[in-house]
Structure 1
Amino acid sequence: MTPEARVAAAIDILDAVLDGAVAEQTLTNWGRAHRFAGSGDRAAIRDHVFDALRRLRSSEWSGQGRTGRRVMLGLLRSRGEDPDGLFTGIGHAPAPLTDEERALPPPLGDAPEPVRLDVQDWVLPRLQASLGDATAPVLDALRDRAPVFLRVNAARTSREAAQSDLAREGIESRPHPLCGTALEVTGHARRVQASAAYRDGLVELQDAASQAAVAALLPYVTGATVLDYCAGGGGKALALAAGGAGRVLAHDVNSGRMSDLPARAERAGCRIDVVARPKGGMDAVLCDAPCSGSGAWRRQPEAKWRLTPHALEDLTRIQDTILDEASPLVRPGGYLAYATCSLLDEENGARIQAFLTRTTGWTEVARQVWTPLDGGDGFFIAVLRRAE
């Protein structure tokens, strides 16, 4: 495919996503319907689509319209690229620019702050209350692609050995300071899942801040029985097992999310016990709660635009419920950890304070916060201890 054809495909996909379709599924469907497109074509189209979604408001402003064509036009203009060279109408290229499109005002110009920062109007003050002076730099970081991180399986190999194994397959990486198990992939990231290091369980795809959150919990759970109460795909359960926790159990209200966990655990050389109805007496319980995902918006940019005040209220109620359900599972003297990949204090510190206000016998013993300015996603973790 030519660069022009890739832009035209991205425009069609963006039209569907802006009409309510899910980006990942739309991209998958497009690939199945256009099997002539090679892996490089599909990757380039995906990059166009996700770059536009990360910068949707500023691209919409620069293109003066909320259609796939106008958003893509605005994205190119904001990058300083000449769209005339791509909008040619030749072959599979988008139709040539109209006189109106050529006469558009300079990108952004007098755009308001939420447009420049690519965030919804109502969210910006809440982020400012949570992040203070870091708000603009954090939101600017969320407008770019996220790094690709790997977690080295410390139970099977070292970071240096894993880096060498990856290099032999042409995958370039470097240690990341956020966590001792983190490698940032700097070259040929799309080869990772086909690599022997990944296939043999020596590395897993996992954000560096997520790894750092598990590392912050490990001093309290070494050799202990730990329940990952909202396990999802099981990334943190696997990290706990590799990091020195004793018996690790995984639970999720939607058991289907854990369907791959037994195979992943076998590949990693560790044991994870999947439980449908967790019992009490746990040394520690980790609640990686559902949240807005605002710390990971550069990975899932659609979530940035689909969050509503009502949805945020629903999420905080769910987070409170999870803490209330999980806390009785902790034995006296044990630990309850609460984590989110949110940047909003409403989902983080405010939830901990609300829990401590309505529940007796608990003390906060640790808290850490990361933002994309630290290199990984935004993340929050608090560790509470139950009285003996």
Structure 2
Amino acid sequence: MTPGARAAAAIDVLEAVLAGRPAEVALTNWGRANRYAGSGDRAAVRDIVFDVLRCRRSLAVRGGGEGARALVLGWARERGQEALFDGQGHAPAPPRATEARAEPAGLAALDCPDWLEGPLRAGLGDGFAAVMAAMRQRAPVFLRVNPLRATQGAAIAALAADGVEAVAHPLAASALEVRAGARRVQQGRAYAEGMVELQDAASQAVVEMLPLRDGMAVLDLCAGGGGKTLAMAGRARLRLSAHDADPRRMADLPARAERAGVQVRLVERPEGAGPWDLVLTDVPCSGSGSWRRDPEGKWALTPAKLEALLEVQAGIMDRAAALLPADGVLGYATCSMIEAENQGQVRAFLDRHAGWELLAQRAFTPLEGGDGFFGAVLRRKMG
């Protein structure tokens, strides 16, 4: 496919996305309907689609409209590639008079919805503009070294043999940043043998905040695919259990645990499966810290949805607290940069529950390299 044809294909995919279809589904459907497109073409179209979704508001200004064609035109103009719209072959038709170019300003230039400025500023403070500008870019690819399978040096060497260039990243002791060959990671020996797992560096740093020690009984209450479950297993010899409100999310966890050399018990009802020394709650959240990876979430979030999430988060924290004895530890994590979901939830929890103390909390932003994340560690006091 020519570059112009790839731009036209991205327009087709984005039309489906704007009609309500998830981007990954729309891309898969397009690939199945266009078997002639090679892997390089599919990757290029995917990149355009996600570049557009990350910067949807500013590109609408540059492209002169909010439809799929205008968004891709804005994408091309931002890169100095308006010539892709020449109508030759399968390329999009040339720009029309109604598709006038303008330069975005203010929140539009930062690709921030108006209503989210206040909630995000509350969490980011003076870093708001810099962080939102960073969120317009693609996220780096990070790996977590599994110390049960390899040292950091051995993992880097094995990845190099797989055609993947990776270097240590300072945000977490286990973190590697992939500099080249990211699409080869899951086809390589290092991944197949459990030396590395895909996991954001800030996510790893949140796990490093937890006071884990050998012999602890630990529950990952919102385990999902089990990324943090396996990260905890790499830090100490634990009696690990995992639970999720939707058990289907944990479907791959047993195979991932076997590859990593870890034992994890899946539990349906945590209330009857304890006692626990530590419960981690990686709660459902706005996902604002991971909008570089899931940009659709930025535009789908509403004040009502955020309010509903706050209620769910508080309920999960209360549930976790009931599972813990005196001196038990509660870990709280979000992939959010919104203060109400982070420090605000911690304050509200301490107001609701006497006899608890805050041991540590930290907010991570993309300016440190990884996604936006928040972690807090609380403990039920003795006596």
TM-score bracket relative to the smaller structure: over 0.9
Query: Structure 2: how far apart are the matches of 1:339 and 1:245?
Result: 22
1:106 to partner: Cα distance = 3.9
- Uncovered stretches (5+) of structure 1, i.e. residues with no partner: none
* Matched ranges for 1:1-388 at <5 A: 1-79=1-79, 81-83=80-82, 85-101=83-99, 104-108=100-104, 111=105, 113-217=106-210, 219-278=211-270, 279-388=273-382
What are the superposed Cα offsets for residues 98-149 of structure 1, whole Å, 9 maximum, x if unpaired? Answer: 2443xx24432xx3x2101101000012111221110000001100000000
CA contact (8 A) 2:202 2:373 kept: yes
- Of all paired residues, the percent bearing the same amino acid is 55
Q: Deviations over 1:299-332 (max 9, x none)?
A: 0000000000000000000000001111111121
Segments of 4+ moved more than 4 angstroms: none
What is the rounded CA distance, in whole Å, between the counterparts of 1:305 and 1:206 in structure 2?
A: 24
CA distance in 2, matches of 1:37, 1:256: 32
Distance 1:179 1:168 in 2: 24
State how far apart, in whole Å, the 2-side matches of 1:40 and 1:248 are: 41
SS where residue 122 of structure 1 aligns?
Answer: helix
Q: Which residue identity does 1:61 align to in structure 2?
A: V
Taking structure 1 as the reference length, the TM-score comes to 0.96
* Matching residue's letter, 2:103: P
Partners of 1:280 and 1:331 within 8 A in 2: no
CA–CA separation in structure 2 for the residues paired with 1:171 and 1:260 = 24
Deviations 1:329-377 (A, max 9, x none): 1121110010001000100111111111111221111111110000000
The whole-number CA distance in structure 1 between the counterparts of 2:159 and 2:353 is 48
Letter in 1 for 2:75: L
The letter of the residue matching 1:74 is: G
- Distance (Å, rounded) in 1 between the aligned partners of 2:90 and 2:63: 21
Tell me, yes or no, if the aligned pair for 1:63 and 1:70 is still in contact at 8 Å. Answer: yes
Whether the 8 Å CA contact 2:277–2:329 is kept in 1: the answer is yes
The one-letter code matched in structure 2 to 1:244 is A
SS in 1 for 2:114: coil
CA deviation after TM superposition for structure 1 residue 35, in Å: 1.2
Structure 2 unmatched runs, 5+: none
Cα pair 1:155 1:243 within 8 Å, conserved: no
CA distance in 2, matches of 1:285, 1:168: 38
Taking only aligned residues, the RMSD between alpha carbons, in angstroms, comes to 1.1
Whole-angstrom distance in 1 between the partners of 2:39 and 2:246 = 32
Give the Cα separation in 1 of the matches to 2:265 and 2:274: 15
CA distance in 1, matches of 2:259, 2:3: 39
1:194 to partner: Cα distance: 0.3
1:152–1:162 Cα contact (<8 Å) kept: yes
- How far is 1:277 from its partner? 0.6
Q: Equivalents in 2 of 1:129, 1:227: separation in Å?
A: 31
Q: Give the Cα separation in 1 of the matches to 2:240 and 2:313.
A: 22
Partners of 1:212 and 1:27 lie apart in 2 by: 32
Contact 2:76 2:84 (8 Å CA) reproduced: no
TM-score, structure 2 as length reference: 0.97
Task: Number of aligned residue pairs: give it.
Answer: 380
Larger deviation, residues 88-97 vs 338-347: 88-97
Residues in 1 aligned to 2:350 and 2:325: alpha-carbon distance in whole angstroms? 17
**Paired amino acid for 1:133:** D
Q: Deviations over 1:179-218 (max 9, x none)?
A: 111110000100001001101111000000000111111x
Q: CA deviation at 1:78?
A: 2.1
Q: In 2 relative to 1, CA 245–344 (structure 1 residues): closer, same or farther, beyond 3 Å?
A: farther
